[in-house]
Amino acid sequence: MPVQESDRQIVKQVFDAMHAGLEGESRMATLFLPDGVLVEPFSGQVREHRGDGAIRTWFRDAINAMPPDMKIRLDRLDLEEGRVRADWTCTSPVLPSPIRGYDLYSIRDGRISRLEIVVTEMPPQG
């Protein structure tokens, strides 16, 4: 079953918000339901951020930690067990190799109820 166009647009908006840097914070937050959840592994352990305030804080912290020239490319978009799966690649001249992973989106009423970020390849630590 193909990904619905409305779900495809939500994923595109997430990527657009990330590329916008700090200016994308409000856009990112409005894509989630008020009780939406974002799960990410970037602090070295899997962490859950629930609700608008927590997602905004995570977004600001993530943007501030990224190199300014980081590019995030959407490689593939599929349905997986009722969720939208977005495979992606992050590149930057300061990284020895790309970061790869995928996002799993649960979408309800045109907004994200849960976004789980999974990293499958991380550059070696020097």
pTM to 2 decimal places: 0.91
Beta strands in 1-126 (DSSP E): 32-40, 47-50, 71-80, 83-91, 99-108, 111-121
**pLDDT values of the chain reduced to their tens digit, one per residue, 126 residues:** 678 899 999 999 999 999 998 899 999 999 999 999 999 998 789 999 999 999 999 999 999 988 878 999 999 999 988 899 999 999 999 999 999 999 999 999 999 999 999 999 988 875
User: Three-state DSSP class for 69?
Assistant: coil
CA 87 → CA 64, 92, 105, distances in Å?
23, 17, 11
Alpha carbon 53 to its chain's center: 16
Domain locations in the chain as residue ranges: 5-121
- Give the number of other CB atoms < 10 A from CB of residue 108: 10
Is CATH 3.40.50.300 the classification given to domain 5-121?
no
**DSSP 3-state assignment of 43?**
coil
